[in-house]
Structure 1
Amino acid sequence: MTWTLDTLRQRRVRYDDLVPCRNAFIDTRSPGSDRKENFTIIGPGVAESSDQHVHISEPHGFNVGGARQPDGCLNSQHSHEGAEVFVVHTGRWRLFFGPEREEGTLDIAPGDVVSVPTQMFRGFEKLDAGTGFLWVVLGGDDPGRVRWAPSVFDLAEHHGLVLLKSGRLVDRAAGETIPEDEEIETAPDAEEIARLVTPSPERLAECMVRHEALRGNADAVLAAPGVEECGVIAPAASGDGFGPGPISGWWPHGFQLRVLRVAEGAVTPDYHCDEPEVLFVQSGGVRLVSEAGELALGTGDTFTSPQGWTHRLEADADAEVVVVRGGDAPTGPRRAA
């Protein structure tokens, strides 16, 4: 396929163009959680509301979304069936573990990456003043459903929201009724909660990389003067010089995650990927240069590269770009001949 700038622009989601959903989940009216915004950037996500806007529906083998919250705003305790990765774009955040936030916390800051294990309760709160944004990657084309803690169900019922077993929300306060052929979802019982156990602090420490701990790989295919690629999540060795880790996980991810640093005036080699590749500009800005011309990506923008499309990244100022490539062991970027 011949890619034009017009078709490439359709694969770019500007931060300023993100369409939020304010009633995506069962906790949307719970005190402390009623000011959050959820985003589905790539894939269907895990939203329980039909109001959720999907920016790019093309299957990638993983989903990309986001959460934007003001200070003091909570995301209630829940468990995921598939991988859930947080990249802190702006703000300082606290993760809470356990069904009632009683099993430990973890504070994270801009540039930190956390892959929270599956089958455990987690929630998060924005700590510092102002609004912050988390860029989120979920494993699988269908990342499964969210399992909420019992207290979330109690608060939702008090505020007129009911979750069905099909995963759909019913808003009784707005006059909606439960269809006769649908069943109401029930809260997890003690036996299920016991299975959704929080790992030890030592085990959870294996699931986070601090921004200051990122290290470039001199053997990376994209390494060049002023360009370094840092490994973050790799369940297995890839085909471009990266071994497993530093986050490998004991659960499937279905993707690898890196951070690409491009210094002012630096240029990556021309390359293409055979697997899906998504770029998120953590800081600065880059230009994607190809035979079609130049496409600019600014801070907070997301872009999905066409498979097999040859391009390079150029930076007019220091930039950091989060890179997600599909597969637990992707081939990775290949330099153009």
Structure 2
Amino acid sequence: MNWTEEAMKARLVRYADLVPCRTAFIDTRTPGSTEKENFTIIGAGVSESADQHVHITERHGFNIGAARQPFGCVNSQHSHDTAEVFVVHSGHWRLPFGPNKEDGSIDIGPGDVASVPIHMFRGFEKLDEGVGFLWTVLGEDDPGKVTWAPAVFEAAAGHGLKLAKGGRLIDTSQGEYALQDVELAEATGTDVAGELKTPPMDKLRECVVAADAMEGNQNSPLAANGVAEAPVITPKLTGDGFVAGPIVGWWLHGFNLRRLTLTSGAYVPQHARREVEVIFVHAGTLEVSWEGGAIVMGAGDTLSVPIGLPRALRNTASVDLVAFVVRGGDAPAMPEFVDY
């Protein structure tokens, strides 16, 4: 395919162009949760609302989403069937565990990453003043539906929201006629909730990497003067020189997560990948160039790079570039550098 700038821009989602949904989930009217914004950037996501906008529908083997919340705003306790990874772009956040937040919590801040195990209740809430942004990765093309803690159904019912079987949100605030010919999902029973057990806190701490603990891998094929690639989620030994860790997980991820840093002027020569690759700019400016053109990304922007497209990366700004990169599969292969 001839990847023109126009074609590549269709794979670019700028932060300023993100389309939020404020009715994505059953807790959207529950006090404390009314101000949250949900985004589906790549893939189907797990939204329960027909109003959710999907920016890039192409299947990647994983989903990319985001959440934006002000101080004190809460995302209610829920469980996922596939991996859920939080990359903190801005703000300080708490991840409480257990159906009623009784099983402990972990706090994360800018640049930190947390991968919460499947089949356990978790939520997230904004701790500090101002609006914060979480960039998220969900496992698999179909990440399934959210399992809500029992108390979430009770709170939502009091504000006119019910959940149909299959995960569709029903608004009954204008009358019960909205439930005609609709089979409602049953609230999560105590038996089901009891099976979604929280692992010990020492195990959960293995699922978090602080920004200042991310160290570049000297064996990375991208490593060069001013360029460092740090492992964040590596389920097993990879073909491109990364050992398992620091987050491995005892559940399937189906992707690798790396942090890429480039000092001012640093450059990664043209190379192609056999895996799908998604780049998220955490801080700074990144130029992605290829034979057909170039795109300059800023903080908060997300780009899906086509498989097999030779691309070069350059930091064109006077400050360091920090980006998070998702690569499909548990064991990405060596990149193929272009010979001139």
Q: Which TM-score tier does this pair reach, normalised by the shorter chain?
A: over 0.9
Tell me if structure 2 keeps the 8 A contact 1:221–1:335: no
Q: 1:327 aligns with which of 318, 326, 329?
A: 329
Tell me if structure 2 keeps the 8 A contact 1:278–1:324: yes
- Residue type of the partner of 2:5? L
The residue that corresponds to 2:179 in the other structure is 178
The alignment of Structure 1 onto Structure 2 pairs a total of residues equal to: 336
The residue that corresponds to 2:264 in the other structure is 264
Separation in 1, partners of 2:18, 2:63: 15
Separation in 2, partners of 1:258, 1:190: 38
Separation in 1, partners of 2:187, 2:269: 52
- Cα offsets for 1:52-72 (capped at 9, x unmatched): 000000000000000000000
Separation in 1, partners of 2:157, 2:333: 48
The residue that corresponds to 1:29 in the other structure is 29
1:254-333 matches, within 5 Å, as 254-317=254-317, 318-333=320-335
Q: CA deviation at 1:282?
A: 0.5
Tell me if structure 1 keeps the 8 A contact 2:150–2:190: no
- Residue type of the partner of 2:194? A
Separation in 2, partners of 1:82, 1:332: 27
- Cα offsets for 1:195-253 (capped at 9, x unmatched): 10001011001101000000001110111110010000011111100011110000001
Q: CA deviation at 1:316?
A: 2.1
Is 1:76 aligned with 2:76? yes
- Cα offsets for 1:262-314 (capped at 9, x unmatched): 11010012111111100000000110111112210000000000110001110
The residue that corresponds to 2:119 in the other structure is 119
- Cα offsets for 1:15-41 (capped at 9, x unmatched): 000000000000000000000000000
- Residue type of the partner of 1:331? A
- Secondary structure of the 2:324 match is strand
Separation in 1, partners of 2:44, 2:232: 25
Q: CA deviation at 1:191?
A: 1.8
- Residue type of the partner of 2:61? G
Give the direction of change, closer, same or farther, for the CA distance of 1:332–1:125 in structure 2 (3 Å limit): farther
Superposed CA RMSD: 1.0
Q: CA deviation at 1:179?
A: 4.1
1:183-202 matches, within 5 Å, as 183-202=183-202
Q: CA deviation at 1:334?
A: 2.6
- Secondary structure of the 1:167 match is coil
Q: Give the structure-2-normalised TM-score.
A: 0.97
The residue that corresponds to 1:61 in the other structure is 61
Structure 1 range deviating more: 9-18 or 165-174: 165-174
Q: Give the structure-1-normalised TM-score.
A: 0.98
1:102-113 matches, within 5 Å, as 102-113=102-113
Unaligned runs of 5+ in 2: none
The residue that corresponds to 1:247 in the other structure is 247
**Percentage identity across paired residues of the two chains:** 56
Unaligned runs of 5+ in 1: none
Q: CA deviation at 1:336?
A: 2.0
Structure 1 range deviating more: 289-298 or 76-85: 289-298
- Secondary structure of the 1:270 match is strand
- Cα offsets for 1:129-163 (capped at 9, x unmatched): 00000000000000011000111101111000010
After TM superposition, where is structure 1 displaced by more than 6 Å over at least 4 residues in a row?
none
Tell me if structure 1 keeps the 8 A contact 2:271–2:337: yes
